[in-house]
Amino acid sequence: MSLKRNDPVAPPTIGEEWHVRYGVTDAVGGWQELENRAASNLRAAWEVMRNSPGAASGRPTSRHHRLRGPVSTVVRGGRMLPQWQIEVTGGDRVWYLVDAEKRTVWVDYAGAHPKATE
């Protein structure tokens, strides 16, 4: 997706912040839907991804943790990356990959609770 007129401008990273980027195009629409439903919660999730997306955040919680089983890792750019989840609302999730080498978080899913974890 190419940015164009009227698109939001992402703030630049400073200090120890991480880049937050879309890993797949489908995540863009899901993110926008979540923004319409739960903007405050989504902003809090974005702050977590921006500042402490993975193991650096300390102990995982029931609302923010690394996924397990077959969805625990994803190959991206020829490297195996850990996949994490943030519970935005009771029924909405954001899944993202933590790329420590590039200090980048790749949002791969945003939307209703995916069936893959049931």
Angstrom distance (rounded) from CA 37 to CA 42:
9
Q: What is the pLDDT of residues 7-38, one digit of tens each?
A: 888 889 999 999 999 999 999 999 999 999 99
- Structural domain boundaries in the chain: 19-117
**More confident position, 94 or 8:** 94
Percent over 70 (pLDDT), the chain: 91
**So what's the architecture of 19-117 in CATH?**
2-Layer Sandwich (3.30)
Q: Which of 85, 55, 56, 80 is nearest to 68 (CA)?
A: 85
pTM confidence score: 0.89
Rg (CA), the chain: 14
Cα 77 → chain centroid: 17
Phi, psi of 16 (to 5 degrees): -90, 10
pLDDT recorded at residue 54: 83
Angstrom distance (rounded) from CA 80 to CA 63:
23
